[in-house]
A and B are shown apart, each in its own frame.
Chain A
Amino acid sequence: MDLSYSDEQIAFAQDVREFARANLDPRVAKKVLEGARLDREDYLGWHRALHKKGWVGVGWPKQFGGTGWDSTYQHIFDEVTADEGAPQLIPFGLRMVAPVIMAFGNKTQQDFYLPKILSGEHWWCQGYSEPGSGSDLASLKTKAERASDKSGDHYIVNGQKTWTTLGQFADWIFCLVRTSSEGRPQEGISFLLIDMKTPGITVRPIIMLDQEHEVNEVWFDNVKVPVENLVGEENKGWTYAKFLLSHERTGIAGVGRCKRIVKRLHHVAKQSTSNGKPLIEDTRFRDRLAQVEIELRALEITLLRVLDAEREKRAPGPEASLLKIKGSEIQQTLTELTMMAAGPAALPYVREGEGGGADAAWLSNDAYRYASGTYFNFRKTTIYGGSNEIQRNIITQMVLGL
């Protein structure tokens, strides 16, 4: 047993750090470190730099153009890039639809979609949840009916998806659609890939509690989708959906990002004051920071254990739910601590480039500019990707057998 990195792994970490310092736009890194909202190009600039280096397919096997890294290398990459202030790689293409296409798509689909996901040419979004189908995803109603005309065989899709993260930037959406109402709800679901430019698709913004546009409603009105865009078999989509969700859950843990926030909290806690002393001297605050740091270390080791155990398997098991629950809770604690550190400076609503917000240069501590907004925004983490209540149900049934 050994929890330390090998010389080779330490050298790799150094390579990643040097690459990030040479290729990451400092303006974007600053935004990431402060918690500011990123635009499409902020994400894509970093994505393209990684693609050029051959490092964008972090968890992908080499045969599809991935790095072929083992779980430890992936973790080092995540940790070091997060620490340098790199934007999160948008998971919808790389970590969600790509594994499904690799495992269940045909050769034509693999050849067409995977290189475009790697290059950043296709930005993907997720069409899972519907207004009446959140936790109970299998009850989804968006319908896809087979039809043919002189242009060929296709599906006609009608319905509505919601909570579509960054759908306003997306070129493609992967959707769960109902192709049959026979049998159990899970048995009539199919997995469709849909070009966002297809006529009949409308994207409407949903403004979140931090007053930002991050998620959307996506409406389908007689949207014609070629049958070639079906992944795997018709009515077997639920299997692929679950496969994808388990991938989402390991990614959601966000250990690298959490470590970055911890580091930043240490920095601001030394600068801020509480009752005339540096905040880090406030034992209540320091205990809270110590506590979450301890939990984060436990999460990190647990994540590495889960990834290691699953190296040989096709998909992460129900243990991934544990990582999602704990990771989201730690992320929320960290954003809450940052807001607490801000003290009264948490009150103003600051927004870049808008006359309505407080003059940022004026605020007592720039570090806290996005503190409250980030805290509010992160309430989503215990809700999305299967709420933490649903994750606990999964563990109850699949692990404990209760």
Chain B
Amino acid sequence: MNFSLSEEQVALRDTLIKFIERDYSFDDRWSIIRSAEGWSRTRWNQLAEIGAMALPIAEQDGGLGGSAVDTMVVMEQLGRGLVIEPYLGCVVLPAALLTRGASDIERAGLLERIASGETLVAFAHTDAGAGHERAQTHTHARRANGGFMLTGKKIAVLGGDCADTLLVSACVDGAPKASLFLVQPDSATTKRYAYPMQDAQRGGDIEFVNAPATLVGEQDNAQHAIDYALDAACAALCAEAVGVMTELHKATVEYLKTRKQFGRPIGMNQALQHRAVDMMMHLEMSRSMAMEAALAVANENADLRAKAISAAKTLVGQASRFVGQSAVQLHGGIGVTHELNVSHYFKRLTMINATFGDTDWHLARYGDLMKAA
């Protein structure tokens, strides 16, 4: 058993810590949020130079062949810095999806362009009104002119505002099982509605009306790749949440020491002390589960992988709720202002919970797998 990061992982972590310290202060982040695009291509390219984009992509596909533990290292730091750029949506997700769901020929070139940071690929999966479920079956594909045409609506697509290419899940001719397609956005048949998310990350809703689409992988057989990719994304989200919680806990303990009421620091009050302790306990439990989730991504047994990922997403989700709400409460009035970073961390944690299955959804999935085992 070994809980240590490798030398390379430590170096990667330190590089990212420096990147956040130097180029991603809260003020830097503000100006990025307020820019027209709402995220920074300069920062994106810096992340690519660090190697973050190439990390989750196999060497034969033009990447660095990193593991999900490497992704965990990256995501934790991106969480600490509340980084806006769509790393999860346009790197972690499409890399996992193409690796498992596309043939060598189909992914040739595309993964290489993701690895270099040159191309942004988003995964449009969540159907409008269908909740968190993994098998989204409301977007339809039908055969036409030797290819396919897609019709449907996808919502809350991470990076859906800026992606150059879309990977889209859809069911062919009423089949119950999903297939995967490549679609070029911004045409008469594919419209996107870009918006900021609640946490200032960007995304979009995308509407397809007979949109020409290219099948990726085997028809009707994409669900296993989708599940794998969403599990990899959930593991990454757990790591990001740990980064966010680390910062929130630190800021809260600091505030308890410095804010004075009734002539003494508010941290002298036992009720608040214990709440801060409980926050720390949630954080450490989450850190453990984020590790387990990262290691589980590579598990070839899909049920064991799913169980570990859902366990982590459940526990980290519950912890995020407690740590986020407590950080705001213990900061009092200043905690609910837009001006202080605490509310921004809190909102990110809340949105992580609403992404790719909330605590209830993952607890149910864990229970189903537990029962079946």
* B333 and A162 within 8 A (CB): yes
* B132 and A343 within 8 A (CB): yes
B366 to chain A, nearest CB (A): 12
- With A273-B131, A284-B363, A358-B195 already in contact, the answer to whether A379 and B261 are too (CB < 8 A) is no
- With A206-B339, A207-B339, A379-B325 already in contact, the answer to whether A387 and B131 are too (CB < 8 A) is no
B372 within 8 A of A: no
* A358 and B131 within 8 A (CB): no
**Contact residues of B with A, CB < 8 Å?**
126, 128-133, 153, 155-156, 193, 195-198, 200, 203, 205, 207, 260-263, 266, 269, 271-272, 325, 328-329, 332-333, 335-339, 343-344, 346-347, 350-351, 354-355, 358, 360-361, 363-364
* B339 and A134 within 8 A (CB): no
* B155 and A380 within 8 A (CB): no
Query: At the interface with chain B, which of A75-83, A318-326, A349-357?
Result: A349-357
- With A207-B338, A274-B131, A285-B360 already in contact, the answer to whether A356 and B155 are too (CB < 8 A) is no
Question: Please, which residues of chain B bring their CB within 8 A of the CB of A373?
Answer: 198
A347 within 8 A of B: yes
* A206 and B337 within 8 A (CB): yes
* A387 and B332 within 8 A (CB): yes
- With A135-B261, A343-B358, A379-B329 already in contact, the answer to whether A348 and B336 are too (CB < 8 A) is no
Question: Please, which residues of chain B bring their CB within 8 A of the CB of A389?
Answer: 269, 271-272
Over the window 35-63 of chain A, the binary record of Cβ atoms lying under 8 Å from chain B Cβ atoms (1 yes, 0 no) is 00000000000000000000000000000
9 closest Cβ pairs, A-B complex = A209-B343, A364-B128, A136-B261, A358-B195, A207-B338, A343-B131, A347-B156, A364-B129, A284-B360
Chain A interfacial residues counted at CB < 8 A: 56
A274 to chain B, nearest CB (A): 5
Over the window 323-360 of chain A, the binary record of Cβ atoms lying under 8 Å from chain B Cβ atoms (1 yes, 0 no) is 00000000000000001101111111110000011110
A129 within 8 A of B: yes
B328: nearest chain-A partner, CB-CB: A379
CA distance A376 to B324 in the complex (A): 11
A246 within 8 A of B: no
Over the window 100-136 of chain A, the binary record of Cβ atoms lying under 8 Å from chain B Cβ atoms (1 yes, 0 no) is 0000000000000000000000000000010011111
* B132 and A344 within 8 A (CB): yes
CA distance A237 to B105 in the complex (A): 79
* B337 and A136 within 8 A (CB): no
B319 to chain A, nearest CB (A): 16
A211 within 8 A of B: yes
* A209 and B132 within 8 A (CB): no
CA distance A246 to B130 in the complex (A): 45
CA distance A139 to B193 in the complex (A): 51
* B155 and A211 within 8 A (CB): no
